Structure 1
């Protein structure tokens, strides 16, 4: 009996280990991070959503209501800090007007188009003073596949959201809704339904990311191999990470994203006229106070992060 139990335990361990390395091997570890000479406590992830259309078929673009071309820019940009009293997830508006090394001042989402993930990371490090330890990005089709692999994601709104023809978003009544992959893409791309445009969209993106990770790490998913394995395989195969990231690092980030303190970089002017068009100007004093707290693994001072309100 002891021998049989021992063999079963060994087989289980081998199965778990084999699955771990199988999923880890699917990660696209293609991003080289720039050198960082400063000091920064904790662990920081830069999470980017790319609007790149390369490799997306005409049928997929039509289904997801994507145009034929994109700017290869970072339409969504979030900073996840771990190591302090509580994980902190901060949205960086795509139109933030910042200095991009070697390119002068521009909207921050242009950094990805100018110099790929390495320049984007370098830009974020230079304006925040934080070391970026890990990088993760995902595109439209990849995100839709991840959502479908867990059977959809539940989003709840307190007021109805009107439809948006640009993103293909069909509108949403007040209450809770289970979004499929294509519906989720439309939801996180919708900005024309709101008076604050992209500033509300990034709040919805934070809420959606939290809902997705809560679903993916729920017992109904990870205890069901017929759901857990397809999800793990689809997720790992859909994202690009830095060369130093492992599956264990991603699992830690996923757990942190389930219930972080959230908000957007403090803003002084959401409609700043610039040579690059209307841009977002940070409240420099408050932004520096926010990033200084993260840099030292200290609690975020009150009033710097306003939380997340879905579809308001």
Structure 2
């Protein structure tokens, strides 16, 4: 700095005032100079303190310093959406449900078995030896004590036990296939101990044992099991299935059987199915045509029974078992497994025949087993071999 003129009221050079104002070589500060005070353990209340530098953001928002260290703000986590409750089938329940279903499928037939009547069907005297396969004698009686009051009113029949057999069928199962052979009830044969009579007379004389003995005497076939069906068995079982399909080949009006249906395939209820299987006053071959219709109804029941819906619908399954249990009788030697095999045999594809026959020489209204063709059919069943087609016809008469 340039020296200023002296004597202008300014301090003289070399004086403490001069040195203080302009700086000089003097090392000792004047007594009133501002001196740095060493830091003390505690700050004085009047001590000048350095304020922290505020950030631009703080100054821009009013100049107030932040009250503490700045932290990064984060958005709160989104609240989870409330899920609507939906019923879910736990995987662990599936095996339990399947197990319960299997128990039901097995338990219902066992329960129905306890409701079935058992009869003594064991014949006395000499019998054919045991044969391969299994032979069931299926008998349809006019038993009406299994009908409801309403059904008796429609059929105009009273409550009675079966005394006549409208149906006699031998069902054979084995390695030679299934064969269903009808024996017309008007067949003349030897009834053991009672001479030559119509075969259905054996049932009226001494029930199941004598009928089994008469069938064995006529055919040489050993009967393993006996199954008897009444009127109610046909009606109630057909209705439990919701009806069956029949295919009459002509219009059929039979007041005695209470039947009035048109030609062609149609769904019918139990009462109509029974009338259709019993009618014998419409067609030319009478009883021979009737046995063919009886097999048709039985086969239709078998077809309905093997549908998956029979087993998948618990109500239908129950109704069918209860209907069958209340309307059949079986031999005392049969067990639940034998009855199960019988039911399976009824649902399978069978070769259906009527015993080869001729008009009886002594009475044109009666028939006899054809001595030339019948033995071939009997022998095939006895030996569990394939039945010759020539010996198996719907009416039992020779093919033209």
- 1:189 is aligned to 278
**CA 1:94–1:244 in structure 2 vs 1: closer, same or farther (change >3 Å)?**
same
CA distance in 2, matches of 1:246, 1:69: 27
CA distance in 2, matches of 1:192, 1:169: 11
CA distance in 1, matches of 2:352, 2:267: 23
* RMSD, matched Cα: 2.5
2:223 is the counterpart of 1:132: yes
- 2:252 is aligned to 162
Greater share of residues in strand: 1
- 1:283 is aligned to 370
Deviation at 1:286, TM superposition (A): 1.8
CA distance in 2, matches of 1:146, 1:19: 16
Q: Say which SS state the counterpart of residue 116 (structure 1) adopts.
A: helix
CA distance in 1, matches of 2:232, 2:266: 21
Deviation at 1:41, TM superposition (A): 1.6
**CA 1:56–1:14 in structure 2 vs 1: closer, same or farther (change >3 Å)?**
closer
User: Which aligned runs of 4 or more in structure 1 are off by greater than 4 angstroms?
Assistant: 1-10, 54-59, 65-71
Q: 1:64 aligns with which of 150, 155, 158?
A: 155
CA distance in 2, matches of 1:63, 1:212: 22
- 2:350 is aligned to 260
Aligned length in residues: 304
**CA 1:298–1:102 in structure 2 vs 1: closer, same or farther (change >3 Å)?**
same
2:290 is the counterpart of 1:204: no
Q: Is the Cα contact below 8 Å between 1:64 and 1:168 reproduced in 2?
A: yes
Deviation at 1:97, TM superposition (A): 0.3
Q: Is the Cα contact below 8 Å between 1:74 and 1:112 reproduced in 2?
A: yes
- 2:23 is aligned to none
**Highest CA radius of gyration, 1 or 2?**
2
Q: Say which SS state the counterpart of residue 180 (structure 2) adopts.
A: strand
Deviation at 1:150, TM superposition (A): 0.9
- 2:307 is aligned to 218
What are the Cα deviations for residues 12-42 of structure 1, in whole angstroms up to 9, with x where unaligned?
A: 4443343232122122122332263524221
CA distance in 1, matches of 2:231, 2:280: 16
Q: Is the Cα contact below 8 Å between 2:121 and 2:212 reproduced in 1?
A: no
CA distance in 2, matches of 1:195, 1:207: 18
Equivalent residue runs for 1:218-257 within 5 Å: 218-257=307-346
**CA 1:220–1:12 in structure 2 vs 1: closer, same or farther (change >3 Å)?**
closer
Q: Is the Cα contact below 8 Å between 2:171 and 2:178 reproduced in 1?
A: yes
Q: 2:114 aligns with which of 11, 25, 39?
A: 25
Greater share of residues in helix: 1
What are the Cα deviations for residues 241-263 of structure 1, in whole angstroms up to 9, with x where unaligned?
A: 01122333233223323320011
Unaligned runs of 5+ in 2: 1-89
What are the Cα deviations for residues 154-177 of structure 1, in whole angstroms up to 9, with x where unaligned?
A: 1123x3323011101012232x21
Q: Is the Cα contact below 8 Å between 1:152 and 1:179 reproduced in 2?
A: yes
Q: Say which SS state the counterpart of residue 288 (structure 1) adopts.
A: helix
Q: Say which SS state the counterpart of residue 170 (structure 1) adopts.
A: strand
**CA 1:96–1:246 in structure 2 vs 1: closer, same or farther (change >3 Å)?**
same
Taking structure 2 as the reference length, what is the TM-score of the superposition?
0.70
Q: 2:203 aligns with which of 94, 112, 115?
A: 112
Equivalent residue runs for 1:146-161 within 5 Å: 146-157=237-248, 159-161=249-251
Deviation at 1:220, TM superposition (A): 2.2
Q: Say which SS state the counterpart of residue 257 (structure 1) adopts.
A: helix
